[in-house]
Amino acid sequence: MLDEVVAPMTKEDAVRRLLLARVDGAYRLATFILRDPLTAEDAVQEAALLAWDRRRTLRDSQSADGWFTRILVNVCRDELRRRARRPQLVALDPEAGPATEPPADHPDHPDLSTALGRLSADEQTLLALRFGRELTVPEIAEHLRVPEGTVKSRLHATFQHLRAAVDAERRSAEAIR
Amino acid sequence: MTDDELEQSLRALYRGMDPRHAPRGLSARIGDVLEGRPGRPVLTARHVPAFAAALAAMLIVAVGLGLRPGGFLSSTVTSPGTVASAESGSPATSVSPSAAPSASPRPSAAVSPTPSAAESASLSPSPTPAPQSLPSGSVPPVSSVLWSNLDVRPLTGGPFGVSSVTAWSGGYLALGRPNYPAPLPAWVSRDGRSWVALPAGTFGPVASVQAARCGDGLLVATQGYTGDTTIWRSTDGATWTSNSAASMSFAGYDTLAGNASGAVAILSETGLAFGRNGRNWQTVSLPGGTAMDVVSVAAFGSGFVAVGATGTTPGSESPAAWWSTDGLHWTRATIQADPGAGFIDVQTGASGLAAMTHSGGVPGTSSFWTSRDGRSWTISQADPLGTIGTGEGMGGVNGLFSGDGTRLLGYGTITDTGPTEYWISLDGTHWTKLSLAGDTATAEAAGGVTPFLLRDGILFSGDKQSWFGAAVT
């Protein structure tokens, strides 16, 4: 139990330390999932506060990583869902470029970042965990509390969806040209 | 782009955005807030405009509702027509599906052969309002005649953005993609050409959904974001009865399959469960020990097949499969040795099955498997779209596969610039490339169009337009 691991401190002190020690990692993960630093910052704050509110659900310090990651991932997924429902700002003057700053992109595959945005919140989260945070399938399974086989099948389906989304982005770009 | 290239591009994309550290001051701000021990999260500056906008929108809606005829701000006398409409079964007077208990906490108890107390309490019928008119047309007979051509024609009025199509004796049910908190869109059709949308909110907002035939009817299993599961049953596709199934937590996608005998579900806590009518479920045990992971299930004739892996750590996995003639009693299938791999998907045709494995948890590494009867499986080179990707740890089956118990469909592109190819098979081993005629250019240009096997053709569903490809034999 947490009380036994960090006996000199109160449980609340220990939870506060656990959360603060994970801010860097949490911010990196939130940035990978949300692909926007400002939103990521808000997500980490929101997750930390939620975790604080739910601190009684943390059984021991050994499981703190997975516990806080799950809370953060859920906050990020909610933000992605909100983002999907939010109207996109479109520049009225096509010469003026996009109304909002697009996420950083890969020079060889300029459609990739836009294509990622076409995926579901769960799919974007899964790719960020696997290829952003470089978590293994068992680690993702542990963090998301789903069977490893489920992670694999979701990764497989997500790759197919991403490929289709990249194709669709390319077709759209060609149609505009 | 191969899976290998896609993976490398993703890694490069994420590397490019890696901040390494949190912005200066973030830890301090969080620490300050925690020190103050707030009971609730605070609105950040970025959230305030959104909150204000939401509040304004609520006010506008409230005022709008109040000003509508009969509204609480209206002085207009309610017209007799409005009353007649309400009395004749409009959504305003019907029992809404959302009235069924659905947010009960997930219990740890296993699924019992008889309804639990919680389920019994929630079994009060909650029929949904029926669509204004059922679709016209007749249900095509099931036929295993091999197709060679499709005549593709656009459909009017949907269905759009379809995530699954389930066939039953009354026709087809198409479900849209969950888009919480919007209600799940759904359509029914008798012939696959003429579709009628179910009333908005029939299934409510959901996080995930699966559907299957079950006996003479249909099952739809919905799961909300709080983990609450609801099972919906219907025999005509129009009127649905729901009951909360709090003890049923589905273990991912493709984890519900059914046929005339009943339905099989893969559940997170208890493994496989079989239900003859979709209302009462009983857990079933699979031979092979406890270190098993079942990931996909499908109906095959009057029986079922399930696939997954044994071994729980990467590298120690081995593909495993099981078959059953009744959904209750299962036998382990004979599998060609493939250390380090596990099945991820199984699809069925009339005279054979196809499945795929992934190796060592590495995305992009997969093998194509076939079986005549689900009782023995071998790695096959019959994948009609070939293998993509090369190099260590890479290489795998190209294309996507689906099956409806009669036909198997493989589709995808062989080259980056080539058109989508569609291949059809009855057994997973012998494949025929379909020739498409008609409105194919629009469908291809739409991008992201997903094909769904129907009894006499293929439904091509895009986000804003759909097509029906009638099979020409």
pLDDT tens readout for residues A98-147? 333 334 444 455 678 888 888 877 889 999 999 998 888 888 877 776 77
Q: Regarding beta strands B432-433 and B435-438, do their DSSP bridges make them parallel or antiparallel, or are they unpaired?
A: unpaired
Structural contact between residues B204 and B182, judged by C-beta atoms closer than 8 angstroms: no
pLDDT at B328: 96
Residues of B in contact with A156 (CB under 8 A): 344-345, 356, 358, 363, 366
Mean pLDDT of A28-37: 91
Which whole-number Å values give the CA distances from B225 to B24, B123, B180, B265, in the listed order? Answer: 34, 22, 9, 19
Structural contact between residues B238 and B130, judged by C-beta atoms closer than 8 angstroms: yes
Closest residue in B to A161 (Cα) is: B448
Residues of A in contact with B400 (CB under 8 A): 160
Residues of A in contact with B47 (CB under 8 A): 42
pLDDT at A175: 66
Instruction: Report the Cα–Cα distance between both ends of chain A, in Å, rounded.
Output: 62
Residue B226 contacts A where some CB pair is shorter than 8 Å: no
pLDDT at B67: 34
Residues contacting residue A66 through CB under 8 Å, at least 6 positions apart = A142, A143
**Interface subset of B 429-448, CB within 8 angstroms of A:** 445, 447-448
Q: Which is it for the CA torsion B256, B385, B364, A124, positive or negative?
A: negative
Are A153 and B254 inside 8 Å of each other by CB?
Answer: yes
Task: Give B466's strand partners.
Answer: B155, B461
pLDDT at B191: 94
Nearest to A127 among B10, B29, B312 (CB): B10
Q: Which amino acid is at B323?
A: W
pLDDT at B321: 96
Q: What is the DSSP string of B104-145?
A: ----SSPPPSS--HHHHHT-S--PPPPPSS---S-PPPP--P
CA pair distance B318, B357, nearest whole angstrom: 10
**Interface subset of A 12-41, CB within 8 angstroms of B:** 12, 16, 19-20, 23-24, 26-28, 31-32, 35, 37-41
Residue A69 contacts B where some CB pair is shorter than 8 Å: no
Look over chain A and give the mean of its residue pLDDT values, rounded to a whole number: 73
Mean pLDDT of B412-426: 80
pLDDT at A159: 86
Q: Which of A117, A133, A176, A129 is nearest to A154 (CA)?
A: A129
Task: Give B453's strand partners.
Answer: B458
H-run or E-run covering B83: helix B80-87
Residues of B in contact with A31 (CB under 8 A): 17-19
> What global pTM score does this model have?
0.59
**Yes or no: domain A94-177 corresponds to CATH 1.10.3470.10:** no
Among A56, A83, A114, A153, the strongest candidate for a mutation testing the B interface, having the largest count of B CBs within 10 A, is: A153
pLDDT at B26: 85
Instruction: Report the Cα–Cα distance between both ends of chain B, in Å, rounded.
Output: 34
**Interface subset of A 120-159, CB within 8 angstroms of B:** 120, 127-128, 130-132, 136-138, 146-157, 159
User: pLDDT tens digits for B70-124?
Assistant: 333 322 222 222 222 222 222 222 222 222 333 332 222 233 333 333 232 233 3
Please tell me which residue, B337 or B214, carries the higher pLDDT value: B214
CA pair distance B187, B221, nearest whole angstrom: 16
pLDDT at A71: 83
Q: Which of A80, A7, A10, A15 is nearest to A42 (CA)?
A: A80
Least confident residue range of A151-155, B96-100, B309-313: B96-100
Residue B54 in this model has a pLDDT that exceeds 80: no
Give the position of tokens 């808000």: A42
Structural contact between residues A174 and A167, judged by C-beta atoms closer than 8 angstroms: no
**Starting at the edge strand that comes first in sequence, how are the strands of the sheet with B318-324 ordered?**
B292-300, B303-310, B318-324, B330-332
Q: How many C-beta atoms lie closer than 10 Å to residue A166's C-beta?
A: 22
Least confident residue range of A82-91, B16-25, B261-270: A82-91
Which whole-number Å values give the CA distances from B155 to A126, B171, B186, B443, B471, in the listed order? Answer: 34, 17, 16, 11, 15
Q: Which amino acid is at B104?
A: S
Q: Which two tokens stand for residue B336?
A: 């060609």
pLDDT at B238: 92
Percentage of chain B lying above the pLDDT 90 cut: 37
CA pair distance B365, B329, nearest whole angstrom: 32
CA pair distance B289, B450, nearest whole angstrom: 38
Please tell me which residue, B61 or B438, carries the higher pLDDT value: B438
Residues A155-164, buried b or exposed e (16+ Cβ, 10 A)? bbbbbebbbb
Percentage of chain A lying above the pLDDT 90 cut: 10
Q: Which amino acid is at B229?
A: T
Q: What pLDDT band is residue B36 in, cutting at 50, 70 and 90?
A: low
pLDDT at B75: 27
Closest residue in A to B12 (Cα) is: A106
pLDDT at A104: 43
pLDDT at B405: 96
Show the DSSP H helices in A35-147 as ranges.
37-53, 64-85, 112-118, 121-127, 137-144
CATH classification (class only), A1-86: mainly alpha
Structural contact between residues B128 and B173, judged by C-beta atoms closer than 8 angstroms: no
pLDDT at B398: 75
Return the C-alpha torsion angle B173, B178, B179, B182, nearest 10.
Answer: 50
Mean pLDDT of B115-138: 50
H-run or E-run covering B174: strand B171-176
pLDDT at B329: 96
Are B18 and A120 inside 8 Å of each other by CB?
Answer: no
Q: What pLDDT band is residue A89 in, cutting at 50, 70 and 90?
A: very low
Mean pLDDT of B415-438: 88
Nearest to A46 among B41, B295, B400 (CB): B41
Structural contact between residues A18 and B16, judged by C-beta atoms closer than 8 angstroms: no
Angle at B202 between CA B463 and CA B299, to 5 degrees: 75
Among A31, A130, A156, the strongest candidate for a mutation testing the B interface, having the largest count of B CBs within 10 A, is: A156
Please tell me which residue, B283 or B86, carries the higher pLDDT value: B283
CA pair distance B405, A30, nearest whole angstrom: 42
Q: Regarding beta strands B162-168 and B149-155, do their DSSP bridges make them parallel or antiparallel, or are they unpaired?
A: unpaired
Q: Which is it for the CA torsion A163, A168, A169, A170, positive or negative?
A: positive
pLDDT at A165: 79
Are B33 and A84 inside 8 Å of each other by CB?
Answer: no
CA pair distance B460, B155, nearest whole angstrom: 9
Least confident residue range of A55-64, B203-212, B214-223: A55-64
Radius of gyration of chain B (CA): 25
Residues contacting residue B346 through CB under 8 Å, at least 6 positions apart = B296, B297, B298, B305, B306, B307, B321, B353, B354, B355
Are A149 and B309 inside 8 Å of each other by CB?
Answer: yes
Kindly report, as residue ranges, where domains of CATH 1.10.1740.10 are found in chain A: 1-86
**Interface subset of B 271-290, CB within 8 angstroms of A:** none
Structural contact between residues A169 and A161, judged by C-beta atoms closer than 8 angstroms: no
Kindly report, as residue ranges, where domains of CATH 1.10.10.10 are found in chain A: 94-177
Q: How many C-beta atoms lie closer than 10 Å to residue B16's C-beta?
A: 13
Residue A48 contacts B where some CB pair is shorter than 8 Å: yes
